[in-house]
Amino acid sequence: MRRQDKLKKLQSIFKRYKKVLIAFSGGVDSTFLLKVAVDSLGKKNVLSATAISQTYPKSDLLTANRIIEKLGIKNIFINTNELNNKDFVCNTPKRCFWCKNELFRSLSKIANKNKINVICDGTNYSDKDDYRPGMLASQKWNIRHPLLEAKMSKNEIRILSKKLGLPTWNKEISPCLASRFPYGQRITIKKLKKISNAENELKKLHLKNLRLRDYEDTARIEIDKDQLKKIFKTNIYNKIVTILKKYNYKYITLDLEGYRTGSLNQAIKKIF
């Protein structure tokens, strides 16, 4: 199916829903989803909600604010409390379930209060083959996935976002900060702040798709594979070491496979 045909299908999905609540993070997928929802249903039939938590990069909240102002829609900010949930903090392979369960519970309350029957998130067709326990939470709370239903891939969403003039069309993927820790390593506010601050410093080096994976006293750096040569040719690696030593990492490693989404999921031997 062509991209334009998929876009028409997405629009028809929204028209069938009539009134929706969009889980809006300010990322590529949810921004595109929100824009199409508004274009299809009008502003009065679309409400969005954005979660605020120490597990999310602060830059995402700033992006979300700018987009909300640009689209001129009503958005509700909600504070989620996944860090109060021991099942989330223990960081088992089901961690994302507990995070999404907390989010969708809050969204369901908002939907009920505003008499909205349909809640949508930005899950897309490219997500279907990844390990995503959060999908179980979406089933529990009856969350709809219009992008997945329209079979829109991440790349197609980026292309269409560019055509629609959305500033997020080339935005890097920005998963929650808890994804920087291997399963079994306890999630704490202190650790999340450490990762957030360290990554913000590293991003000033202009490395694409940078991830800092934390193994307590060891840091594993992921960047786009085509940039691996760059950091040695320009001595950026020395700057990386200097930054991370400030955060008390004893060992600093570079992943030679480069950045890939869900790299920590490779350690899972049993799917929960």
What is the spatial distance between Cα 57 and Cα 197, in angstroms, rounded to a whole number?
Answer: 10
Side chain identity at residue 265, one-letter code: N
Domain pair 3-163 / 177-267, same fold: no
The CATH number of 177-267 is: 3.30.70
**Structure-block tokens of residue 247:** 């955060």
Q: How many angstroms separate the Cα of 236 from the Cα of each of 75, 85, 158, 195, 228?
A: 40, 39, 30, 19, 10
Read off the pTM: 0.91
Tens digit of pLDDT at every position of the chain (272 positions): 798 999 999 999 999 999 999 999 999 999 999 999 999 999 999 999 999 999 998 888 999 999 999 899 999 999 999 999 999 999 999 999 999 999 999 999 999 999 999 999 999 999 887 788 899 999 999 999 999 999 999 999 999 999 999 999 999 988 899 999 999 999 999 999 999 999 999 999 998 899 999 999 999 999 999 888 888 888 899 999 999 999 999 999 999 999 877 656 655 544 44
Domain 3-163 is classified in which CATH homologous superfamily?
HUPs (3.40.50.620)
CA neighbor of 73 nearest in space, from 13, 17, 21, 18 = 21
Would you list the domain boundaries of the chain?
3-163, 177-267
For tokens 């600093």, the residue is: 252
